[in-house]
Chains A and B, each alone.
Chain A
Amino acid sequence: MKIVVCIKQVPERDARLRIAPDGRSVDSAGAATEINESDQYALEAGLRLAEGVGGEVVALLLGPDGAEEAIRRALAMGATRAIHLNDAAFQEGDASANARALAAAAGAESPDLILTGLQSDDAGWSQTGVLLAERLGWPSATLIMEIEPPADGRIKVKRELESGWFQWITLPLPAVLTIQSGIYPVRYATLKGIMGAKKKEMKKMAPADLGLDPGQVGAAGRRVEVRRLYVPEKSAEAEILQGDAATAAATLVDRLQKEAKVL
């Protein structure tokens, strides 16, 4: 079974975010990064499936040079090889433009399955996996919490619905699944994996390699544009209790007793 897993590199969770001088993006120079959380789960799900039924996992990422770090992590975790969509023309795409490029690259691999995370922790569109399914004309299912090995050309998966509801569905392959965080515990890269990753193939691709015109990707191909990025003004601001831990704790207990009357 051939599985393509889309992984995105995002700023590390607790990283301080600095707005770039253009006022529309985050200045990522020198910032710590990681593989997007739900993509780590997608990768884990892909690896398990491939280990179970045999096959390979291809990691696919669209991003700048610095994103090679995420690719190396994916290879160290066990991806067989990687495709890196890396070209100036890809910059500042929205979900639509990026999905066009990712669909072209993934489709060219003719995989049985494409896995993505359900949502990126930076842009947070929650669209890309489903967009690329439609671009490829494949069925899709989102918020996947369990995957059974395929049988008779169909795959059975468990979807998460709202408020504690779930659903078992089947869909024909090839298909796209977007993976919800928590599906399976994510493995760590072993030292052996990290060493082995250095020898694995990482193919860099530009729009022309995908049969795309530069005008269809990145800023030129987008349908949504970020005009301004800024720190939100908070509406109902909490009362911040000052002092060292002991002082703040004492003030809090006092407030909870006398003001909020909940203690």
Chain B
Amino acid sequence: MAGAIWAVTQLEQGEPKGVSYETIAAGQKLAAALGKPLESVVLGAGARTAAAKVAARKVERVRVVDDPKLDPYTPDPYTAALRLAVEAETPDYVLFPHTYQVRDWVPRLAAALDAGFVSDVIDVRADGGEPVFVRQPFQGKLNADCVFAGAGPRLVSFQAGAFLADDAQKGESPAEIVDQAIDLSGVEVRTQVLDTFQEVENKVDLSRADVIVAVGRGIGKQENLGLVEELAAALGGQLAASRPVCDNEWLPMDRQIGSSGQTVAPRLYLAVGISGAIQHLVGMKNSGTIVAINKDANAPIFSVADYGIVGDLFEVVPALTAKVKETRGV
């Protein structure tokens, strides 16, 4: 429907991926602010079955975009399918969850439609009728209020966790489900998927750890790791790391916490020299008690921590290890 807001649902093994409901929640907020109808588009192989679940949420209608070419996911047919749908229905806004898959194809869609694309948004509000989208450039250290310039459809992707799936209101009755007729017969699928797999089973299963001491780039170099190893040992905990520590091969990949590593929720999580980028936070923010040790008082990690020590880890960690040893008698 012309002028509508679309929330695009990503499928995972035939089910709506959880973050898609967060996008619907964001869409409901934007729709209320702008007085525009919200529709969901379920895109992918098997979309018809998944659409019924999405239709339970408060949306005007659910559009199904299904075609054998959409299985397995590759960027060309996805881009073509949604471009055709957008050109046919001319929605004003098309919203997505900022998943790895969305990173892979939605910029293509933006270029194909010559549309603006505000990615990785954490909030939306309307300033005098004009929607403002908040994102976090500079690795989450700053916020930026963004607005669209120029005409054409407007694409927005939302950071995981910025909106809550539970806030996506249910409708009074199921929304209407309609088939979006698209013809992908002329679309060439250039990418060939050979194999989708999980790397060797994680050697260390950090998800079972009670206490985790995670170390970040602030440790400076591999030779300094002994410092945090000692703290982890004193606490009877496991050692984990942020991505750069593993990228630099200071610790093996199976110690990585975050969106491309393990997701953990120990009783106690100590983040040492970790800034708190969103891709790290998604892997640990549900931990019981979070402690951050960082020399930068503005590091984003402090906004998810319960306790913080602002200081040089090379002073704080040895002091903490000594105190823990004394207290626990180890």
Contacts and interface: CB of A to CB of B under 8 A. Distances in A.
Interface of A: 11, 13-14, 17, 19, 26, 37, 41, 94-96, 99, 118, 121-131, 133-135, 139-143, 154, 156, 160-172, 180-182, 185, 222-232, 234-241, 244-246, 248-250, 252-253, 255-257, 260, 262-263
Contact of A227 (B146, B217, B324): B146
Interface in B225-260: 235, 243-244, 246-249, 259-260
A169 B193 contact: yes
A224 B148 contact: yes
Contacts of B20: none
B267 interface: yes
9 contacts: A130-B103, A134-B79, A167-B194, A167-B195, A168-B194, A222-B116, A222-B149, A249-B309, A252-B307
A106 to B, nearest CB: 14
Contacts of A232: 136, 142-143
Contacts of A245: 309, 311-312, 315-316, 318-319
Interface string B196-224: 11110010000000010000010000000
B296 interface: yes
A166 to B, nearest CB: 6
Which of B146, B211, B328 is packed against the most chain A CB atoms within 10 Å?
B146
B120 to A, nearest CB: 6
B138 A121 contact: yes
B184 interface: no
A138 to B, nearest CB: 9
A230 B298 CA distance: 13
Given A161-B196, A224-B116, A249-B309, A240 B247 contact: no
B152 interface: yes
Given A232-B143, A240-B297, A164 B259 contact: no
A170 B195 CA distance: 10
A124 B308 contact: no
Contacts of B298: 231
Contacts of A166: 196-199
Tell me what chain B mostly uses at the interface: helix, strand, loop, or mixed.
Answer: mixed
B143 A127 contact: no
A139 B75 CA distance: 8
A180 B247 CA distance: 10
B286 interface: no
A172 B296 CA distance: 46
A199 to B, nearest CB: 31
A241 B307 CA distance: 7
B103 to A, nearest CB: 5
B117 A224 contact: yes
Nearest to B310: A240
Contacts, number: 264
Nearest to B102: A126
Contact of B107 (A131, A162, A255): A131
B88 to A, nearest CB: 20
Interface in B302-330: 302-312, 315-316, 318-320, 322-324, 327-328
A50 to B, nearest CB: 22
B147 interface: yes
A144 to B, nearest CB: 11
Given A156-B194, A248-B311, A249-B309, A143 B100 contact: yes
A202 to B, nearest CB: 27
Q: Which 5 A-B pairs have the closest CB atoms?
A: A223-B116, A182-B247, A134-B111, A130-B107, A238-B305
A164 B262 contact: yes
A96 B116 contact: yes
Nearest to B130: A227
A95 B108 CA distance: 12
A129 B298 CA distance: 31
B291 interface: yes
B186 interface: no
Contacts of B110: 96, 127, 131, 134
A35 to B, nearest CB: 15
A224 B240 CA distance: 38
A167 B196 contact: yes
A95 B191 CA distance: 24
Nearest to A164: B198
A123 B148 CA distance: 16
Contacts of A14: 296
Contacts of B116: 94, 96, 222-224
Contacts of B267: 262
B182 interface: no
B268 interface: yes
A228 B320 CA distance: 40
Interface string B279-311: 000000000111110001110001111111111
Nearest to B190: A139
A160 B253 CA distance: 13
Interface in B100-143: 100, 103-108, 110-112, 114-120, 132, 135-139, 141-143
